[in-house]
Structure 1
């Protein structure tokens, strides 16, 4: 009888769990599954949660005011994460979506109606968004099944039609057209408002100032090609596309094309500007005071008495809007950048300021030119990653030594120390993005950034995910390592090793140059998939050379449509960053930067060339996180070769600067791994282990 009762209770428990999971799935699809937002309890809200009640009231008052809108009221208002240039990362001044919602992640869109507020974001930010947005908001967790799109949700809310307002300067034409098409049947009109509603309700004394720092020239010894040559190449491609002029709106494209850099976007070396060029002239729209120092005027030939076709004429930043109307009359066709992977293309406002019959929507040729680095840029990226490896080793050595003496660091303190080590490197402009350091439960949030409300102390009983990067004159870096200052448990080791195996499998890949990017992702995730694990973010993305840390056209994700069409090109650089995250417990992520290289000694029978990858990131893995029995002889050999390269390249850099603490730490953490000690696991044991692990990781 006792045995029957135990079985019955087990069945009841399994049934209850199934019902609960189904109920949670329904709430997720509605956006209603929210932490500490239950109407039946009084759970304490997360400390980082932002109260947006008054902000939403102010916004809704504006939405209903014909006087302040200069048009009829709107039923809903869309707020994107973009600035006027559709940047991936934006200045604090432009974080409108963060202001209205409280969510600080880099990706996400918000829609506010008269009685609802809803946020969409992807798997990197599900946990973070849930803790930051208050209970006024619904949360749509993209990546889960049956999550409605923005259009689908709007159509469900307004079956008889509505007016959806938006700021046309911060929405790409790509998104505008897509929404217009999807909402047309439901008679929901997308309305371009002449007033930015978030700007109206954001108090000036609370809003960060707009940055206007001096621009500077990126020297030819780093760029490898002067701007006049680049403009000539782009002009030829614009002409080939069927246009006689082009408007450039993306800040990283202008920075690359003109070899000038700025600091208007924190952590990205960009100058806020627009550019229009035709076959003879080029016009840069910028705050001209930012060009007065550092010989930028002279470099751009802007002060020449006689104009040449390599002269860049300087215009005031806001004159772009009048000049587009005037200049578009002079051309047969003007190329306007369209959507390309992470590059949203030009805004709807840019499109609307060019006569319809003169528009030629086209992916920017600059994206593909700058993604393939020239020999000088390639060498620079290698130098940057050696410097970065040295900075990371010095940081790890310092923290480990201090903790051994009993010192306790918070996440924010560790981030600050790492930033200092990076900034101390020669030709460093500091970080390429905000340093991510998450301990224990915080490490399970893929893009968690510590704040004063969440800042945890780091102890020896959990994993620490550390993701950071730098902007060196030679190149841009990004690296992630997961460490443990105590003894990791078997689940942590298993997850870490599976993530590492995926990264090693990718690094050793040789393939024909017609293979699609999406296909490579299978190798990275395979070891996790074998036990039913995965991560809800992309595996990798392109990275610039003293430019953006995330750039088009490379996107690595097996189910991403664009990745099923794109191929790798020799000379490109990108990240690979697999991970695993168990909410409330621990997280693991490892990230390296790779270079695409030719393998000319191989020839495919179909005539295609073979290419492969070279690992640029040179930072040791933590060996005590390895589940050694899972590593094959070949994988151990790869790790030994990798560690030998770190010793040679980073070791020389550390000794050159007399950083002996970092050198000794590096030598200890790149010690030889026995290559013939891989355990042979039986098929039966493997199946049982996989089943147990998958149950434990639920």
Structure 2
């Protein structure tokens, strides 16, 4: 992190904005600059060297866009991060928080169009903005009489200077057939079949998890994500691999050959020049398949070549897990559940015996339990270990400055996950080690009711998750409560914890192809009160086929199978709000947790965890006293 203060960073950035040449007129400068979160691959999580928005604003969340003008600095982010942003923006008096998803909040393009002086120029790095985002900005600004300029140099990098973190050069290793279930060569041929079907002669793969999945390779360039920096271009004859070849282990190179892939290697930096040269050789009969989520700079290098801009076949392939990946993900969630049961049993005992456990020391202990499980690689994201009011900060990450004890006085929210060689996990449980208020019980129960409603839904194949979102919210909406984040995201097979393209959200996602058997997706409703508490329950669900009462030709229906196996605390439920179906569902779920986990928690070392699991999976009924 730079030694410059937040105010000094903004001042230096504004100096650079004034010196940008526009149309050959150096004196004109630019009137605004956009600093978004993504890297050149539109990644959600970033390596330190790409955390430009964090550097310039101080805000550490995984989603947000900063807009800086001559006299204002604004940050857009969504409801997961409102409280966090207000506490992190630096200096706080210099920044305005723009709350995405709140009625009346304009988009960045709308705000710029309305608030800039006439005929202003807005600068942005085209390699860091997707073509979709760039096009929307360009259209809105042009309509308002402004212009959008593709910056030749990134201004934030210039402010950062020598203090910018170095680029990692970590090894790239093979992910074997034991875990992938399909050879890389087979995946490449499936891509070519899709290319022929769509009339494309070139396919461009830019998303890092798509590259890793396609080639059955893994890396560690970005914390928590087993990916590496590379591009792939597939033609009907060749596969071009843009990567620092020296980083591939001998085993990785050998596996590529053994799985039927013989890449033509290029350095990572050659991608844009290669694309420009390739475009010059293409004819009117050629068509390039490049997703509109790929960065604008790459789109621009292809010029006027015909394009197919749908999501890539790799993205779709990756989302629908094969039998080997399904078995692996289920196994990973069993191991993860063992670790979490040990942790919650240990934590409850520590609190009961007045032993100090803080948010950080608790998260550290949880990681120790995970490390004991076979095939553990690391965390899938920074553990959200949040006590009381911190739980209302939806993506809270405890720091030495914010760390507080975990007590029995309020809710404790723990959202955590792991990377195992056979799968990625993500689970949230909210517990209360004391006596919650009646209102807190009601909120917790309504969150559970939403999770139940979604988990038991039956729906047609290829239904977009957007249409299911209301099920998870209805119980909260009935009493005027809500949450400001999505309800579900895809999850990778030892890949990214948030995996495109499927979602369950109040937001429509145009690239969502609809749910189908083999998808894994989270189910995570919640409720949050700033300054008081946060509640979230998150399970990972496998989408499976279901037999309905009435069978019709060409009509396939789906439902969910829960693969997370961590008990939900029942003694804080308001039983009067539960239906008999909900009670029976929870009893069946807890019976499954017990039957699968208890054989794995035998021996003296697991006495505490086994006793906790037994108690937490006891059946409940309407006769239970809340």
Asked if the contact 1:597–1:611 (Cα under 8 Å) also holds between the matched residues in 2, the reply is: yes
2:266 to 304, 311, 315: 315
Is 1:349 aligned to residue 297 of structure 2? yes
CA distance in 2, matches of 1:336, 1:227: 20
Q: Aligned-pair distance for 1:182?
A: 1.0
Q: Aligned-pair distance for 1:396?
A: 1.0
Give the structure 1 partner of residue 496 of structure 2.
548
Asked if the contact 2:49–2:165 (Cα under 8 Å) also holds between the matched residues in 1, the reply is: yes
Identify which range, 422-431 or 359-368, moves more after superposition.
359-368
Give the structure 1 partner of residue 131 of structure 2.
173
Give the structure 1 partner of residue 108 of structure 2.
150
Asked if the contact 2:450–2:475 (Cα under 8 Å) also holds between the matched residues in 1, the reply is: yes
Aligned pairs (5 A) from 1:289-688: 289-291=246-248, 293-301=249-257, 310-332=261-283, 333-339=286-292, 345-513=293-461, 515-560=463-508, 562=510, 566-600=513-547, 602-605=549-552, 607-655=554-602, 659-674=606-621
Compared CA separation, residues 253 and 559, structure 1 to 2 (3 A): closer
CA distance in 2, matches of 1:355, 1:558: 36
SS in 1 for 2:297: helix
Identify which range, 464-473 or 237-246, moves more after superposition.
237-246
Please list every run of 5 or more consecutive structure 1 residues that lacks an aligned counterpart in the other structure: 1-49, 303-307, 340-344, 680-698
Is 1:55 aligned to residue 5 of structure 2? no
- C-alpha deviations, 1:253-311, integer Å up to 9, x for none? 001100000000110000111111111111111112210x2511122229xxxxx9731
State the superposition RMSD in angstroms: 2.2
CA distance in 1, matches of 2:218, 2:304: 33
Give the structure 2 partner of residue 32 of structure 1.
none
CA distance in 2, matches of 1:560, 1:245: 29
Question: Which of 1 and 2 has greater Rg?
Answer: 1
SS in 1 for 2:257: coil
CA distance in 2, matches of 1:113, 1:163: 11
CA distance in 1, matches of 2:208, 2:223: 13
Asked if the contact 1:238–1:335 (Cα under 8 Å) also holds between the matched residues in 2, the reply is: no
**Matched positions, count:** 617
Q: Aligned-pair distance for 1:82?
A: 0.3
CA distance in 2, matches of 1:656, 1:258: 42
Give the structure 2 partner of residue 188 of structure 1.
146
- C-alpha deviations, 1:377-419, integer Å up to 9, x for none? 1111110110010010111122222222221122111122212
SS in 1 for 2:165: coil
Asked if the contact 1:261–1:270 (Cα under 8 Å) also holds between the matched residues in 2, the reply is: yes
Give the structure 2 partner of residue 197 of structure 1.
155
Give the structure 2 partner of residue 689 of structure 1.
none
CA distance in 2, matches of 1:313, 1:140: 46
SS in 1 for 2:98: strand
CA distance in 2, matches of 1:269, 1:530: 41
Give the structure 1 partner of residue 48 of structure 2.
92
Asked if the contact 2:290–2:307 (Cα under 8 Å) also holds between the matched residues in 1, the reply is: no
CA distance in 2, matches of 1:672, 1:362: 48
Asked if the contact 1:476–1:546 (Cα under 8 Å) also holds between the matched residues in 2, the reply is: yes
Asked if the contact 2:170–2:247 (Cα under 8 Å) also holds between the matched residues in 1, the reply is: yes
CA distance in 1, matches of 2:605, 2:166: 41
Asked if the contact 1:436–1:449 (Cα under 8 Å) also holds between the matched residues in 2, the reply is: yes
Give the structure 2 partner of residue 215 of structure 1.
172
Identify which range, 660-669 or 523-532, moves more after superposition.
660-669
Q: Aligned-pair distance for 1:624?
A: 2.3
Asked if the contact 2:455–2:523 (Cα under 8 Å) also holds between the matched residues in 1, the reply is: no
Compared CA separation, residues 566 and 300, structure 1 to 2 (3 A): closer
For normalisation by structure 2, the TM-score amounts to 0.94
CA distance in 1, matches of 2:335, 2:84: 32
Asked if the contact 1:281–1:310 (Cα under 8 Å) also holds between the matched residues in 2, the reply is: no
2:182 to 225, 239, 247: 225
Q: Aligned-pair distance for 1:358?
A: 4.6
Q: Aligned-pair distance for 1:605?
A: 4.1
Give the structure 2 partner of residue 277 of structure 1.
234
Q: Aligned-pair distance for 1:159?
A: 4.7
CA distance in 1, matches of 2:606, 2:514: 41
- C-alpha deviations, 1:331-353, integer Å up to 9, x for none? 443534324xxxxx211111122
Asked if the contact 1:603–1:610 (Cα under 8 Å) also holds between the matched residues in 2, the reply is: no
